[in-house]
């Protein structure tokens, strides 16, 4: 059972901010073996979608402890692209294989449309995820480029 919270950056609690940055570091720096500065000055104007859940296999006898299972950054139009965008999409390795990435993107799109109206959405996707984002209605909208040594491509979800 996921608990989703959408929060402007300025209203993230210290606990939530720590969990968000820890998950992004776990996925983008450690797992992908990519040394880069995750704090890129785009977080402040964005809304952050956080998905909390209790991991399987917690010891019996205590209150369940939620962990940040997934996160995404919802970027207003005009900040990174002309269109609104979704970025820093991450799911914890401990919660993978259950469709959480798809749920995260569907929730992100719903919130993005609620915030900025239904309009095209542009993302910068890691190239190996083209099929995944394509299944959500995104199509390639540019040439492959390297970002922090990883092949990416812009993708656009039209109406």
Contacts of 41 (CB under 8 A, 6+ apart): none
| pLDDT at residue number 68 | 95
Spell out the per-residue pLDDT of the chain, length 159, in tens.
899 999 999 999 999 999 999 999 999 877 777 777 678 889 999 999 999 998 776 656 666 788 999 999 999 999 999 999 999 999 999 898 889 999 999 999 999 999 999 999 999 998 999 999 999 999 999 899 988 788 899 999 998
| pLDDT at residue number 78 | 96
74-84 burial: b if 16+ Cβ within 10 Å, else e: bbebeebbebb
DSSP structural state of residue 8 = E
Tokens of 93: 């390795």
Domains, the chain:
3-157 (3.40.630.30)
The span from the CA of 110 to the CA of 113, in Å, is 5
The span from the CA of 42 to the CA of 115, in Å, is 17
Beta carbons of 39 and 12 less than 8 angstroms apart: no
Helix (H), strand (E) counts: the chain: 3, 8
Which pTM was predicted?
Answer: 0.91
Question: Cα-flanking dihedrals φ and ψ of residue 38, to 5°?
Answer: -65, -40
């Amino acid at each position: 059972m996921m608990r989703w919270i959408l929060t402007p950056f300025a209203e993230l609690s210290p606990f939530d901010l720590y969990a968000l940055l820890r998950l992004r570091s776990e996925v983008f720096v450690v797992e992908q073996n990519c040394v880069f500065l995750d704090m890129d000055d785009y977080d402040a104007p964005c809304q952050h979608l956080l998905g909390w859940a209790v991991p399987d296999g917690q010891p019996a006898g205590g209150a369940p402890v939620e962990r940040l299972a997934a996160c995404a950054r919802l970027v207003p139009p005009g900040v990174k692209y002309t269109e609104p965008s979704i970025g820093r999409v991450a799911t914890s390795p401990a919660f993978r294989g259950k469709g959480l990435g798809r749920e995260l993107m569907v929730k992100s799109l719903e919130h993005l449309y609620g915030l900025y109206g239904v309009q095209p959405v542009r993302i910068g996707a890691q190239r190996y995820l083209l099929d995944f984002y394509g299944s959500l209605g995104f199509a390639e909208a540019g040439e492959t480029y390297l970002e922090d040594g990883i092949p990416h491509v812009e993708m656009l979800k039209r109406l």
